[in-house]
């Protein structure tokens, strides 16, 4: 999807600061996230990755600066979806969790979901279950699934509204390698489908495998933003080089 | 033996009718109030929560006395002719149980909201749908709140004896009968009535527990 066709992209941060409990979680961030390959946020704990994603989703409002979506100050939340690090599953089956997301999208007036009938809704649930490889688990209680499976349900729920932008907060943080690979493959498929993926991760390998461009945050400040290849091959800042060398970035 | 006395069945039936009616009414009013207080920001919210919590410990005799003054012939609601009727007893128990159900609902829904807030906000779920979702998700916890209310209602004597009058065959419940028989020195009868009351309460809680467990199993 190109920026011109999107009601969300580019997402622009202009001198954005966010303060929580007298701590500057993000400090004067200016950045432009455009359509294209996945954007990956990296940085040590407490660098502000989650806050960055929440601001990009419109879940938080900055104390200073401005976030714009396609040059507009109103967050087009119906065109975006968020997958949390520890997704919350409703106390119902996997299929009903996805149905809930579909209905929430329809109630929110999302054009893609507006015309859904019961049959089309069920067909879409089957389609989403197949996409995330959980066809066999549709009738299982969502809370009884493993962490990796729940993450895939959360992905299916997020994709139910056919978002233009998908944000994910460390989606593979607590997953084993096999589950991580499934989620990464899914994200590649989603990105190939034209959905802009923005995710945070601690895993440099994952960042290298998925990212089109990399954002490095440290102590709430933007250290680097550039293409994945230039970031990994020729980091500009000393801190980025230290981080890439696997040393502690204090 | 009190267990084969037909009069006893009238007492048990009235007790259950009054308490279950009161709990049902209190749940219908208290659950929406609790959810609304939990999910709405307004001025005086903290004070309202303190009042609701304090009312959970409202002494039944004080409430009974207030209702007596309101419902007596000379009182502002005397025209309704409710004093010394089962309806007055239902009203008294409803008012006693209402703060319990509203407060526990408020706390439950607030806790659930902390857990679900991010996800529901990110899904852009409407306010009305959020309330409905949280009430459905918390249904088993809310059942516990309703049971706590039932426990308070069915074991209560102070308010119902004042507004009901403990009239034989009309407003006599198990608790007022226990109080009366004890004062008359019929301790054997009073003890049996008390035991029966406890058995009924336990049975209702067991039934509710079974419903809850079956529901939880079905819902995950």
Strands across the sheet containing A64-69: A23-33, A11-20, A64-69
CA distance to partner chain B, nearest, from residue A1 (Å): 22
Whether B217 has its CB under 8 Å from any CB of chain A: the answer is no
Q: In the predicted model, what is the mean pLDDT of residues B180-184?
A: 94
| B2 confidence band (pLDDT: 50, 70, 90) | very low
**ipTM score:** 0.85
Q: Which residues of A touch B117 (CB under 8 A)?
A: none
What chain A residue is nearest to B117 in terms of C-alpha separation? A88
Nearest CA-CA partner of B122 in A189, A157, A7, A138: A157
- Output the pLDDT for position A213: 96
- The shortest CB-CB distance from A142 to any of B116, B125, B220 is to B220
- Model confidence band, residue B217 (pLDDT cutoffs 50, 70, 90): confident
Classify residue A84: in a domain, yes or no: yes
Asked if A92 lies within 8 A of B220 by C-beta distance, the reply is yes
At the top level of CATH, which class does the domain B2-173 belong to? mainly alpha
Classify residue A172: in a domain, yes or no. yes
Mean pLDDT in residue range B164-180 = 95
CB B116 within 8 A of CB B133: yes
Of A84, A100, A108, the CB nearest to B124: A108
Residue B125 at interface with chain A, using a CB cutoff of 8 Å: yes
Cβ contact, residue pair B122, A82, below 8 Å = yes
Minimal CA separation from B199 to chain A, in Å: 33
Split into its structural domains, chain A has a count of 1
B122, B125, B129, B137, best to mutate vs chain A, most A CBs in 10 Å? B122
| A214 found inside a domain | yes
Least confident range from A103-107, A123-127, B3-7, B127-131: namely B3-7
**3-class DSSP state of A68:** strand
The domain of A56 spans 3-244
Q: Are B172 and B160 in contact (CB under 8 A)?
A: no
A111 touches chain B (CB under 8 A): no
Beta carbons of B119 and A88 less than 8 Å apart: yes
Asked if the Cβ–Cβ distance from A104 to B121 is below 8 Å, we say no
- Could you say which residues of chain A have pLDDT below 50? 114
- CATH number of residue A218's parent domain: 3.40.50.300
Q: What is the pLDDT of residues B16-30, one digit of tens each?
A: 999 999 999 999 999
pLDDT at B3 over 70: no
pTM for the model: 0.84
**What DSSP assignment string belongs to A9-42?**
PSEEEEEEEEEETTEEEEEEEEEEE-SSSPEEEE
A104 touches chain B (CB under 8 A): yes
State the Cα–Cα distance between residues B36 and A182, nearest whole angstrom: 41
> How many alpha carbons fall within 13 Å on the CB side of residue A94?
25
């Amino acid at each position: 999807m190109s920026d011109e066709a999107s009601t969300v992209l580019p997402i622009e941060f202009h001198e954005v600061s966010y303060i929580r409990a007298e701590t500057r979680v993000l400090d004067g961030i200016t950045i432009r996230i455009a359509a294209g390959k996945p954007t990956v946020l990296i940085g040590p704990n407490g660098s502000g990755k989650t806050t960055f994603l929440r601001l990009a989703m419109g879940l938080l409002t900055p104390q200073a600066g401005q976030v714009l979506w396609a040059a507009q100050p109103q967050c087009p939340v119906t065109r975006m979806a968020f997958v949390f690090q520890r997704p919350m599953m409703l106390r119902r089956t996997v299929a009903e969790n996805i149905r809930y997301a579909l209905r929430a999208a329809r109630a929110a007036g999302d054009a893609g979901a507006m015309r859904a009938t019961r049959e089309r809704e069920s067909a879409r649930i089957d389609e989403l279950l197949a996409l995330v490889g959980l066809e066999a688990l549709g009738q299982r209680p969502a809370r009884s699934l493993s962490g990796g499976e729940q993450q895939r349900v959360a992905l299916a729920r997020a994709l139910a509204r056919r978002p233009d932008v998908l944000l994910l907060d460390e989606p593979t943080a607590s997953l084993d390698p096999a589950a991580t690979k499934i989620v990464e493959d899914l994200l590649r498929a989603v990105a190939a489908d034209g959905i802009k993926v923005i995710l945070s991760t601690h895993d440099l390998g994952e960042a290298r495998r998925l990212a089109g461009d990399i954002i490095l945050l440290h102590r709430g400040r933007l250290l680097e933003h550039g293409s994945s290849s230039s970031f990994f091959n020729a980091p500009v800042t000393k801190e980025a080089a230290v981080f890439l060398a696997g040393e502690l970035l204090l | 033996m009190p267990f084969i006395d037909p009069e006893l069945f009238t007492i048990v039936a009235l007790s259950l009718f009054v308490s279950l009616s009161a709990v049902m009414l209190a749940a219908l009013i208290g659950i929406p109030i609790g959810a609304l207080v939990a999910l709405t920001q307004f001025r005086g919210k903290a004070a309202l929560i303190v009042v609701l919590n304090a009312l959970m410990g409202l002494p039944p005799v004080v409430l009974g006395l207030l209702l007596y003054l309101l419902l007596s012939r000379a009182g502002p609601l005397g025209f309704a002719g409710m004093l010394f009727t089962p309806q007055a007893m239902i009203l008294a128990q409803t008012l006693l149980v209402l703060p319990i159900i509203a407060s526990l609902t408020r706390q439950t829904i607030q806790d659930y909201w902390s857990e679900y807030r991010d996800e529901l906000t990110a899904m852009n779920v409407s306010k009305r749908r959020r309330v409905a979702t949280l009430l459905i998700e918390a249904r088993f916890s809310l059942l516990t709140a309703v049971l706590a209310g039932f426990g308070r209602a069915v074991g209560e004597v102070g308010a119902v004896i004042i507004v009901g009058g403990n009239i034989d065959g009309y407003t006599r419940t198990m608790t007022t009968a226990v109080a009366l028989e004890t004062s008359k020195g019929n301790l054997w009868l009073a003890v049996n009535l008390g035991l029966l009351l406890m058995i009924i309460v336990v049975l209702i809680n067991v039934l509710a527990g079974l419903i809850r467990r079956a529901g939880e199993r079905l819902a995950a």
